[in-house]
Each structure stands twice: as structure tokens, then as C-alpha cells.
Amino acid sequence: MNIINIEHITKVYEVGLEKVHALRDVSLRIDKNEYVAIMGPSGSGKSTLMNMLGCLDTPTSGIYDFKGESVSTMTDNDLAKIRNKEIGFVFQTFNLLPRSDALHNVELPLVYAGMSYSERREKAKHALIDVGLGDRMHHKPNELSGGQRQRVAVARALVTQPSIILADEPTGNLDSKTGEEIMGLFQELHEKGNTIILVTHEEYIAEHAARIIRLRDGLVEKDERVESRKVLKVNSATE
Amino acid sequence: MRHFLFELKEGLLIALRAIRANKIRSALTMLGIFIGITVVVLMSTAIKGIDNSFQKGISALGTDVLYIDKWAWFTNQEWWKLRNRRNIDMEDFEKFKELAKLPLAVAPVTSSRQIIKYKDRRVDDVVLNGSNADYVKTTNFTFDQGRFYSEIESNASRQVAVLGSEVAKNLFPRGDALDKTIKIGGANFKVVGVLDEQGSSILGSYNPDNQAFIPIGTIFKNFISHHRQSVTINVRAQNPAMIEETKAEAIGVMRKVRGLKYDEENDFTVNQQEALMEQYNSVVGVIKIAGLFITGLSLFVGAIGIMNIMFVSVRERTREIGIRKAIGAKKRTILAQFLLESSTICLVGGAVGLLAAVLLSMVVDQFIPTSVQIDAVVIAFVVALLTGVLSGLAPAYMAAKLDPVESLRYE
């Protein structure tokens, strides 16, 4: 069953008088429980594609169906609803709210989903325990290490049980050991049945995925299965 | 709906957290609203206080009483025209009394300023009114002690006096005025009555509390030559609804008494409380509007301060807005969040301002009787809330329509 179906989408930005074609003609499908990496050098359009996939932005032309619904024609409110319920974001710079503790950060998407206090507290706690931060719930982001912050972000992405997890350079701000740990976490999530889309420009990170889509100049250059997939020994995130 | 309540609660928590995070900034912003609300509440309370004491003051004049006089209380005629009018004398009064059928009571009044003494105590500059026994029927006087002078005493021009409450209090601190002999301008008078407190301080020496009352014959005998001074005829209608008819009759009768031809102007004026009220409203109305406008400006300045700070706050938290949008906050959620922040600042500032206004009004109360009424409290809160919402609207709208992609990239 495919979750994402994109046909011939383009995205044109107007910078001053000049038109920048960030995406020229991209078509792709992503099925449930896939683990996809989107790769490409800077300027290839991968950030634009990821914003599009994440419903943060809409295409200039083309078709984008998310679970059979047309995203291209949605209103801002509908897009917010999709982002809230169907998509979990993990960013390179973590993007946690600095003044809120880990628990509240994880809880936030559920607030916007309109869940009651006790229910969302419970779910947020579970999500934090799942990523191995059961003992850090009331720490503020500046009291956590980079790896821990990214785990909070992963917990926040997971807590709504979204259809896809969208990770934009999730290891970009981490040292390689911590990065490896986070990649292990993603692998574990994938094995549990989650659909993961990873955006990166690093080959060794992309090799964790089962499929790599390579972009260049706003076009899909290559869409291939990973032959020698890097599978980490998962020793469960809960250390 | 439930959904929206959660968002509202979350918004409120965010607002409180943001206010706490920038304590000095929030406090300074609140100060603007605090000052604005304080002066607006104080101003409106003071205006109300002045209104009330004026109302109370002129109610002593009665809504159903006409004052026929040589002089007009308010006029656009030249004063010398009025001065050239003939005096109204006792003969005019007697004829008027005979011809006018509608009034409940009519009384001639003339007055003089005198010193009143009792033993070593004295009150200077008391308005001494001379009238007849019917005078009391043209007023709403009530008595603390004794009675008004009788018709017999009046007709016989006896040396009897009725004292206003303030005059009595000054001469007889122990309240034993009745039947004492006082000296008015050198002549002996027996006190036959003391009035209850009647009017309000706003009328000054026109307040009956600061006056004394003796028979009109006695005042002519002792203090005034009747050829020199015009009398006022106080006319009381049977009820307030009859005032216009009574006035029309009074004018007709008075013209007849004065022997005016049909083309001659009235050489007298019928004064009434209403005219005083109108005059008051036209003067004080302007002061009220100007006062509220000027104090309102300070609130406006406070509102601009809030708007300014809210713009800064939105700019500073652009990234936070991006994050919130990415994880599912709708436009209206962001809008509500910033409106709540500005409203909270205003409500807190307003509440403190109100408290200050209540305390300050106790000080003002020493000069003008004022107190902050419940409607002022409600209005203050509504105004504070409105200020918060209006000054937060533009910044909140700016925040709500931020592009999530752009704001996530914002450093």
C-alpha cells in the first residue's frame, strides 16, 4: 500500500525577477514500512522535496497524494492537520522548544491534536521511555546532550503514531558515535513497522536505508535498492 | 470546542512562560497599561463624584420649584439690561399670590449676608434668608430640632430664626440650640428650629446648611430697606409633572402683575433647576470629554508599547513559531497564543492599575466625594482586555501567517 504518490511535481521560487526551479519534474512512490533515503548535493532540491513531502509547502504543479488524498489543493489548516497526525519531523538542529522540558516538548503535538491532559502525558512518557530517556523527562533541552536532544525530537515525532517519519539530516549536528546511535534508533523503529524517509548528503548515513533516491538539479537521477545495506546490531535503545 | 479549549490553555501557559522569561520587559510594558488604566479609572470616578455631588446639591432646589426673579441664573442678555428691570417688591408678590391658582405654595425670599454670634462663638458671612411661613413648603426641609417659624410669627415680624445644620453646629457644638438667644448682626433672635443636613458642599454658601431663615418682615426691619432690594418669588408646583403648566401660568400672572403690554418683553425671569442642570451639563460635559480623551491618550500610548513589544516577541520567536507549525499548530492557534500574551499583559497591568485607582480615589475622596464603583471595575477590565486584543492583533496576525519553511530556517 503506498502512502506517498508523487507525479510530475515542480516547484518554482521567485527570487527577485529570477525564477528558480527547485524541482523540475519529480515522480515517486513510497510504500508503507519503507526505509528511504533521499540524497543529493546542496542545490539538488532535496530540501524542497522534503518540505513538500512533509506538507510544509505545496508544489507549483503536479500531483501529490498522501494516503490517497490530494495535498496540492489543501488549505493551510488541512496541511497543519496532516502534519500533526500523519508526519513526524526530526530536524538536523533538533528544533525543541528551549523553555519547555522534554516531556512537554514531546507532548506538544498531542496538545494540538486536542488530547486530554492525562492521556497525552501518559503517551509522551511512553514515547520518552521508548527512546531511552525515561530518566530525563523534566530536563530542559539545554540540560541534555546533543544525542539526547535528538532522542527527544524522535520521541516527539513518534508520539502521534504518524504514517511517516521524516528526518532531515538527523545526524548532521552529532558526532559519529552519537550519530550511529540515532541511526540505530531509526533502524529499530523501521523494524517495528514505521515508514521512514531520511534526507542526507552523506553516503554512509544513506546506506542504512533500504532504498536511495538520488536527486540532481531538481530531477530524480537514480532510484535504487541498497545492495549492501548497513544493518546495525541493535542493542535496544533503552540502555 | 474541546479542542479549542486545550489550545487556549496551552496558549495561556505559553503566554505566562514568555512573560516570566522576560520579566523586566513585561513589567515595563505593563507599566504603560497600569498608568493608562489608573488615570482613566480615576478620571471617570472623579467625574462621577462631581456629578453625584452636584445632583445631590441641586436636589435641594427641587425639580418642582420655580424661582421668579429680577435676575436670570443663566442668560445671554447684557447684565445691565437685567439691572434696569424694576425690582420685584412685596406688593408684586401679594398680587401674584392672589392671582396664581396652580401653585402648591408661594413664598417671597430676600437675603442678606450677616454675622451670627452666640456668646463667644461666631459664624461669619451667613446667608440670611427672609421669607414667610409658606417658604418651608417650597423646600424639602426636614428638621433636626424644633420647627419652621409660624404664620403668626412671620406676619408679626418676630425676632425668630431657623438655623441650617452647619451654622447650628458651629454655634452650638453640643447641639442645644433650641430656644437659645443668638445675635444676628447685633439684634437678638430666638432659635425656633434647626434643619437636618440638606445639601452638598458643592453649592457653597447656597447650601441651606450654611444659611439661616427669619421672617421677611424682620429682615426688612433689621437689615434691608425694601425699596432697595428685589425679592425672589419661590413657586412650588403641585407635583413635578405640573411644572410646565405652573410656569406658563406664573409668566402670565407675573406679566399682569407687572402691567406689561403684549409687545413688551418680560421684565423678570422664571428660573428653575433644569436650567442649572443644562448649564452644568454643557460646561462639565466638555470637561468630561476632554478629561477622558486626555487620559485615554495615556492608555493609547501604553497600547502602542505593547504592540511594539509583541512585534519584537514575534520576531524573536520566529523559529519557535516554525516548530509549532511543523508539528501541527494551526494559524488560529498561533494567533490565539500571541493574543493571549498581549491580553495577559494588559489584564495584569489593568488589575494593578485598578488597585492603584481604588487607593488613589480614597485620597481624592478627601476633596471630592468619590468611590470606585463596580461598573468602573468592569469597564476597566473590558478596556484592558480590549487594549490587549487590539494591540496584539497586528503582531499576532503577522506570527500566524509566517511561512513554516521560512521560519524554521530563521536564525
A chain contacts of residue B7, beta-carbon cutoff 8 Å:
111-112, 114
Contact B331 A80 (CB under 8 A): yes
- Which residues of chain B are within 8 Å of residue A76 when distances are taken between CB atoms? 330-331
Q: Answer yes or no: do B327 and A96 touch at CB < 8 A.
A: no
**ipTM for the whole predicted complex goes beyond 0.90:** yes
Q: Note the pLDDT tens digit of each residue in B278-310.
A: 778 888 888 888 988 998 899 899 999 999 999
pLDDT on residue B158: 93
Cβ A166 vs Cβ A200: under 8 Å: no
Kindly list the residues from chain B whose CB atom is less than 8 angstroms away from the CB atom of residue A115. 6
A77 touches chain B (CB under 8 A): yes
What is the model's pLDDT at position A235? Answer: 55
Give contacts of A 25-44 with B, CB under 8 A.
Answer: none
CA atoms within 13 A on the CB side of A209: 28
Q: What is the pLDDT of residue B281?
A: 83
- Global pTM reads 0.73
Cα–Cα distance, B402 to B162 (Å, whole number): 80
DSSP summary character for residue B196: P
pLDDT digits (tens, 9 = 90+) for B3-40: 777 777 878 888 888 888 888 989 999 999 999 999 98
A182 residue type, one letter: I
CA distances from A46 to B126, B141, B410 (A): 97, 94, 19
In tens, the pLDDT along A97-124 reads 988 999 999 999 999 898 888 999 999 9
Q: Do A111 and B325 touch (CB under 8 A)?
A: no
Q: Chain-wide mean pLDDT for chain A?
A: 90
Residue B407 distance to chain A (closest CA, Å): 11
Chain B contact present for A15, CB below 8 A = no
Query: Rounded to whole angstroms, how far apart are CA atoms B223 and B233?
Result: 19
Q: Looking at residue B369, what DSSP letter applies?
A: -
Report domain extents, chain A: 32-59+76-225
State pLDDT tens for residues A13-34. 888 889 889 999 999 999 999 9
Q: Do B327 and A54 touch (CB under 8 A)?
A: no
* Among the partner residues A76, A97, A160, nearest to B323 by beta-carbon distance: A97
Please provide the average confidence, as pLDDT, over all residues in chain B.
Answer: 88
Predicted pLDDT at A123 = 95
Indicate the pLDDT class of residue B1, thresholds 50, 70 and 90: low
pLDDT of residue B198: 77
| pLDDT tens-digit map of B73-96 | 877 777 777 888 889 999 999 999
What share of chain B has pLDDT > 90, as a percent? Answer: 53
Residue B220 CA neighbour count, 13 Å, CB half: 21
Instruction: Using CA coordinates, name the residue in chain B closest to A49.
Output: B405
**CA-wise closest residue to A110 among A172, A156, A57:** A156
Cell of B180: 437659645
Binning chain B into helix, strand and coil, the percentages to the nearest 5 are 60, 15, 25
Which three cell numbers, joined as nine digits, stand for B323? 516548530
pLDDT tens across B305-330, in order? Answer: 999 999 999 999 999 999 999 999 99
The nearest CA of chain B is from the CA of A95 a distance in Å of: 6
- Band of residue A237 on the pLDDT scale cut at 50, 70, 90: very low
Kindly determine whether residue B323 and residue A95, on different chains, have CB atoms separated by under 8 Å: yes
pLDDT at site B374: 82
Task: For the beta carbon of residue B43, count every other beta carbon within 10 angstroms.
Answer: 19
Mean pLDDT of the B202-227 span: 83
Band the pLDDT of A239: cuts 50, 70, 90: very low
Q: How far is A239 from chain B (nearest CA, A)?
A: 28
Most confident of B79-88, B224-233, B383-392: B383-392
Q: In angstroms, rounded to a whole number, what is the distance separating the alpha carbons of residues B210 and A178?
A: 92
CB atoms B7 and A95 under 8 Å: no
Compute the distance between CA of residue A57 and CA of residue A51 in angstroms, rounded to an integer.
6
Q: Which of B2, B327, B330 sits opposite A89 (nearest CB)?
A: B327
Q: Is the pLDDT of residue A135 over 60?
A: yes
Any B CB within 8 A of A108 CB = yes
Q: How many CB atoms lie within 10 A of CB A124?
A: 25
Q: How far is B345 from chain A (nearest CA, A)?
A: 19
Contact (CB<8Å) A84/B319: no
In the predicted structure, residue A62 carries a pLDDT above the cut 50: yes
Q: What percent of chain A has pLDDT over 70?
A: 97
- For the cut 80, the answer to whether the pLDDT of residue B58 exceeds it is no
The answer to whether the Cβ–Cβ distance between B21 and A99 falls below 8 Å is yes
3-state secondary structure of B161: strand
Between chains, do A112 and B330 touch, taking CB under 8 Å as contact? yes
* CATH architecture of the domain formed by A32-59+76-225: 3-Layer(aba) Sandwich (3.40)
Question: What percentage of chain B exceeds 70 in pLDDT?
Answer: 97
Residue B105: predicted pLDDT: 93
pLDDT at A43 over 90: no
**CB count in 10 Å sphere of residue A78:** 14
CA angle at residue B345 from B343 to B351, to 5 degrees?
95
Q: What is the arithmetic mean of pLDDT over A187-204?
A: 91
What value does the mean pLDDT take over residues A150-161? 94
Which of B3, B320, B333 shows the shortest C-beta gap to A97?
A: B320
Distance between CA atoms of residues A141 and A143, nearest Å: 5
| Whether A51 contacts chain B with CB within 8 A | yes
Between B307 and B367, name the one with better pLDDT.
Answer: B307
If pLDDT is split at 50, 70 and 90, which confidence band does B203 have?
low
Query: How many CB pairs below 8 Å do chains A and B form together?
Result: 65
More confident residue, B198 or A86: A86
pLDDT, tens only, B249-275: 999 999 999 999 988 888 999 988 877
Residue from B327, B397, B407, B409 to probe the interface with A (highest A Cβ count within 10 Å): B327
Q: Residue A153: pLDDT above 70? A: yes
CA–CA separation, B257 and B251 (whole Å): 10
